[in-house]
Amino acid sequence: MARRDIWLVSDGWLWRVRGRLSGDGGQEVSYDFPDEPSARAMVERMMKTSAGTWRDLTEAVRQETNRRQTR
C-alpha cells in the first residue's frame, strides 16, 4: 500500500488542502478554499476515498516544532 499524506494549512486568509501520494517526490494535488469548513470537508473526502488507516500527526508535528524552537 502506498503512503498518502494530507495537510490542512492556512495563512489566515486562505485555507489550502494538499495531498501527496507515495511519500516524498510523489504526485501532489492542492486545493484552495475561502473558509475552514470547506477545507475540512475536502480533507474528509480525501481520507474517505483512500484505502488504509489514517493517523493524525498534528500533535507530533507541533511538539517537534516547539522542540526545534527551544534550541
pLDDT tens readout for residues 48-68: 888 777 777 788 878 888 888
d(CA 47, CA 41): 10
d(CA 48, CA 71): 39
Q: What's the confidence (pLDDT) of residue 10?
A: 95
Q: What's the confidence (pLDDT) of residue 71?
A: 76
pLDDT tens readout for residues 9-62: 999 999 999 988 876 677 889 999 999 999 999 999 998 888 777 777 788 878
Mean pLDDT of 3-8: 87
